[in-house]
Chain A
Amino acid sequence: MDYDYLIKLLCVGDSGVGKTSFLYKYTDGVFHTQFISTVGIDFREKTVIYQQNARQHRIHLQLWDTAGQERFRSLTTAFYRDAMGFLLLFDLTNEASFLEVRNWIEQLKTHSLSDDPDIVLCGHKCDLQEKRLVNQNRAREFAKNYNLLYLETSAKTGQNIDRAIEILLDKIMYRMETSVEYAMLCASGRRRQSLQRLQAKQDRKLCSC
Chain B
Amino acid sequence: MEFNECHLNEVSDLVGIDIYSDRSQTPSPTPVLNTNVCCDLEDILSDAISESLQSSLRVSRSQLINQELTIRPEANIESNIPEGLDLYKVIFEVENDSDFKMNNLEGTSQTNSSKNQESCRHVGGSKFYEVVDGSSSGVTSTPSPTEKQDHMKPIESDDEVSDVDQECTVFCGVSYLGAQNIADPKSETDIQRIMKELSSMPENRDGIAVSISIPVCSQGLVVLYQADTNSVMTRYAVNRISFYARGAAGSPVASCFAFTWSHGETKESAVYRCHVFRCHIAEAVNQVSSCFAKAFERVPRSMASSLVGDLSAAPSMTGSLTEGLGPAAPPMQLMHVLECTVDIKETDAKGTFSHVPKERLGYKLRGGIDKQVTINVTQVTNNVQSESEDTQGYTGGLYIERCFGILLAPGRSVKHSDMQLLEMVSGSSGGSGCSVCALWNAGESALAAFNVASGDGAPAYMSLALDLVIRGIRDPLRLVIETPVKVYPPSERFWYYSKRPLVQQFYINLKESVDSLGQLQYEVASVETSGELDRSRLNLPLSLSSLLPSPLSTAPAPPSPSEPDSDGDEPLLSGTGEVSKDCGVDVLENWAQVLRSWIGPRPRALSQLVRVGVPEALRGEVWLRLAGVDQTDKLMETYRTLISKDCPFEAVIQRDIARTFPAHDFFREAGGLGQDSLLRMARAYAVYDVEVGYCQGLSFLAATLLLHNLNSQMRYYPQ
Contacts and interface: CB of A to CB of B under 8 A. Distances in A.
Contacts of A39: 696-697, 700
A16 B656 CA distance: 8
Contact of A16 (B655, B660, B662): B655
A209 B26 CA distance: 103
Interface residues of B, number: 17
B349 interface: no
A71 interface: yes
A110 to B, nearest CB: 23
Contacts of B378: none
Interface stretch (B212-220, B286-294, B537-545, B569-577): B569-577
B570 A30 contact: yes
Nearest to A36: B574
Contact of A37 (B573, B656, B663): B656
A15 B574 CA distance: 18
**By DSSP majority rule, is chain B's interface helix, strand, loop, or mixed?**
loop
B695 A71 contact: yes
B605 interface: no
A24 interface: yes
A34 interface: yes
A36 B659 contact: yes
Contacts of A24: 571
Contacts of A69: 652, 695-696
Given A24-B571, A30-B570, A32-B573, A72 B696 contact: yes
B696 A15 contact: yes
Contacts of A33: 662
Interface in A28-43: 28, 30, 32-40
Given A15-B696, A28-B571, A36 B652 contact: no
Nearest to B663: A34
Contacts of A161: none
B140 interface: no
A94 B322 CA distance: 43
A186 to B, nearest CB: 46
A37 B695 contact: no
B591 interface: no
Interface in B524-573: 570-571, 573
B652 A35 contact: no
B571 A37 contact: no
Contacts of B574: 34-36
Contacts of B226: none
B697 A35 contact: no
A184 to B, nearest CB: 43
A67 interface: yes
B300 to A, nearest CB: 26
B272 interface: no
Nearest to B668: A34
Q: Chain A CB within 10 Å — which of B570, B659, B663 has the most?
A: B659
Given A67-B696, A72-B696, A37 B570 contact: no
Given A15-B696, A72-B696, A36 B655 contact: no
Interface in A81-138: none
Contact of A35 (B570, B659, B695): B659
A15 B655 contact: yes
Contacts of B675: none
A155 to B, nearest CB: 13
B678 to A, nearest CB: 12
Interface in B631-682: 652, 655-656, 659-663
Nearest to B654: A16
A67 B660 CA distance: 14
Contacts of A67: 696
Interface string B688-707: 00000001110110000000
B696 A30 contact: no
Given A15-B655, A69-B652, A71-B695, A36 B571 contact: no
Given A32-B573, A35-B662, 20 more contacts: A15-B652, A15-B655, A15-B696, A16-B655, A30-B570, A30-B571, A32-B571, A33-B662, A36-B574, A36-B659, A36-B660, A36-B700, A37-B656, A37-B697, A37-B699, A38-B696, A39-B697, A40-B697, A69-B652, A72-B696
Interface of A: 15-16, 24, 28, 30, 32-40, 67, 69, 71-72
30 contacts: A15-B652, A15-B655, A15-B696, A16-B655, A16-B659, A28-B570, A30-B570, A30-B571, A32-B571, A32-B573, A34-B574, A34-B662, A35-B659, A36-B574, A36-B659, A36-B660, A36-B661, A36-B662, A36-B700, A37-B655, A37-B656, A37-B660, A37-B697, A37-B699, A39-B696, A39-B697, A39-B700, A69-B695, A71-B695, A71-B696
A-B pairs, top 7 by smallest CB distance, nearest first, are A34-B662, A39-B697, A36-B574, A37-B659, A16-B655, A69-B696, A37-B656
